[in-house]
Structure 1
Amino acid sequence: MTKIVVITGANRGIGHGIAQSFAEADYKVIALNRTLCGADWMEEIQCDLTNQDEVSNAIDYVEKTYQTIDILVNNAGIRRYSPIEEISDADWNDSLLTNVTAPLWLIRKCTKMLSLSNGFMVFVGSQAAEYPFEEGVAYSTTKAAFLAMSKIAIQDLRYKNIRVCYLSLGAVANRPKENDEWKIRPSDVGQLAVSLASLSPRVMPTYVELRPSVPSSSHIPKMNALQNI
Structure 2
Amino acid sequence: MQANNKTVVKSMTILKLFLDHSKLTFNDMMAYTGIPKTSLHRMIGSLEEMAFLTKDKDGYYSLGLLFLQFGQLVADRLDIRTIARPIMKELRDDVEEAVNLITRYGNEAMYIEKLDTLQPVRLFTSIGRRSPMYAGDSRIILAYLPEDERETYLENTELRSIGIGTITDKSALRQALEKARKDGYTISRSELENYTASVSAPILNQQNQVVAAISAAGIEARFQEDRLPGLIQKVTSAAIKISEMLGYIRE
| Bigger CA radius of gyration | 2
Tell me the TM-score normalised to structure 2 length.
0.28
Which protein has the bigger helix share? Answer: 2
Tell me the TM-score normalised to structure 1 length.
0.30
